[in-house]
Amino acid sequence: MRIAITGALGQLGRSLQDALQGHEFFLVDLPEDDVTEPATIAAIADFEPHVVIHTAAMTDVDGCEIAPDGAYKVNALGTRNVALACQRCDAPMLYISTDYVFDGTSEEPYLEYDEPNPISVYARSKLAGEEFVRDLLNRFYIVRTAWLYGHTGNNFVKNILELVEEEDELSVVANEFGSPTYAPDLAEAIARLIQQPLYGIYHLVNEGSCSRYELAAKILELAGMGDFPLHPTEIYARSAKVPRRAVLRNFCAATQLGITLRPWDEALRAYFVEREHAGHR
Ligand SMILES: NC(=O)c1ccc[n+]([C@@H]2O[C@H](COP(=O)([O-])OP(=O)(O)OC[C@H]3O[C@@H](n4cnc5c(N)ncnc54)[C@H](OP(=O)(O)O)[C@@H]3O)[C@@H](O)[C@H]2O)c1
């Protein structure tokens, strides 16, 4: 297949290239290719892809709060542009969205059918992207995921591993819950999903959920630093509001396609094994 991937240099973009090896790629990322530019859209359409996977986004949640115009430009209008490219070349689009479209006030995990209620600029701009995809295309997958980490880029797992090198103790929030998701696992699931013309909204996350504090404790345990002083905290000083409990439930892919991701703690263990093999990337 010919596959266009936006955000190709991001953590998910790189994992997708690994999971989809053997296919022909058209890779889009800054600084050469900007999804907000019409020329990029023309280039995607000219490639005549069989599917376009759109991961590019302004992902700095606090940064979006500070620069909302930039967030809407990339996450909403950039997504509209990619959808228009798909229209032009009649390709289905897979758009990566987020758990943050939900407000996180439900005690129950969110299903694909639950009503979004975003509470930050980042989340509103990503939901606006979803709306463009739904309005402009008949053939699309919207894949919501959460708490992504991989071997490249900026993520919570790497941040904790860096902080323990610099600090004598750490405090991590215990009142924010989510579904940590290993980018290579998500990429494998996406590789299976795009083989099926079952379009719609999907929640793809590693199974289960935990608090940021529980995740940090597991990271330290697997890094062989289980005795590092780690304290739970409720204090939450940041620019953006984040959902307290935006746990996603994978109902559609599991029920219709048998696509599930392994439990989050197994995936985290695999991350450490692979990190060890790669000599601490
Ligand atoms: N990370 C998470 O925890 C998380 C959770 C839920 C959903 N998601 C969604 O998952 C997707 C992938 O996330 P990720 O963690 O892989 O993100 P990432 O590592 O930040 O990668 C995003 C990539 O998109 C690029 N990009 C930004 N603006 C662009 C533009 N205008 N044109 C072309 N490329 C652009 C970025 O380049 P620069 O680095 O140069 O800006 C970066 O290489 C995103 O859509 C995100 O909203 C992420």
Q: Which 8-state DSSP code applies to residue 52?
A: E
What are the tens digits of pLDDT across the range 101-134?
999 999 999 999 999 999 999 999 999 999 999 9
Query: Residue 31: CB partners within 8 Å, gap ≥ 6?
Result: none
Is residue 230 assigned to a domain? no
> Which of 59, 204, 242 should be mutated for ligand 1, with most atoms under 8 A from CB?
59
CATH number, domain with residue 44: 3.40.50.720
What are the tens digits of pLDDT across the range 29-71?
999 999 999 999 999 999 999 999 999 999 999 999 999 999 9
From the CA of 36, give the closest atom in ligand 1: 31
Is residue 214 assigned to a domain? no
**What total number of domains does the chain contain?**
1
Q: What average pLDDT does range 3-11 have in this prediction?
A: 98
Please determine, for residue 281, whether its predicted confidence score (pLDDT) is greater than 80: no
Catalytic pick from 122, 149, 182, 202? 122
State if residue 170 touches ligand 1 by the CB under 6 angstroms criterion: no
Task: State both tokens at 83.
Answer: 């959808």
Is residue 279 assigned to a domain? no
Task: State both tokens at 167.
Answer: 């600090």
- In DSSP terms, 4 is beta-bridged to 26, 52
Q: Is 31 helix (H, G, I), strand (E, B) or coil?
A: coil
Is residue 173 assigned to a domain? no
Is residue 43 assigned to a domain? yes
Q: What average pLDDT does range 144-172 have in this prediction?
A: 96
What region, left, alpha or beta, does residue 125 occupy, with left being phi > 0 and alpha being psi -120 to 50 degrees? alpha
Domain that holds residue 94: 2-154+180-207+247-263
Is residue 44 assigned to a domain? yes
147 confidence band (pLDDT: 50, 70, 90): very high
Q: What pTM, to 2 d.p., does this model score?
A: 0.97
From the CA of 100, give the closest atom in ligand 1: 6
Write the DSSP string, 133-187. HHHH-SSEEEEEE-SEE-SSS--HHHHHHHHHHH-S-EEEESS-EE--EEHHHHH
Is residue 233 assigned to a domain? no
The distance of Cα 168 from the centroid of its chain, to the nearest Å, equals 31
235 confidence band (pLDDT: 50, 70, 90): low
280 confidence band (pLDDT: 50, 70, 90): low
Is residue 103 assigned to a domain? yes
> Annotated catalytic, 122?
yes
Helix ranges (H only) for the chain are 11-19, 38-46, 61-66, 68-71, 79-89, 121-136, 156-166, 183-193, 212-222, 252, 264-277
Pairing of strands 170-173, 148-149: unpaired
- In DSSP terms, 202 is beta-bridged to 143
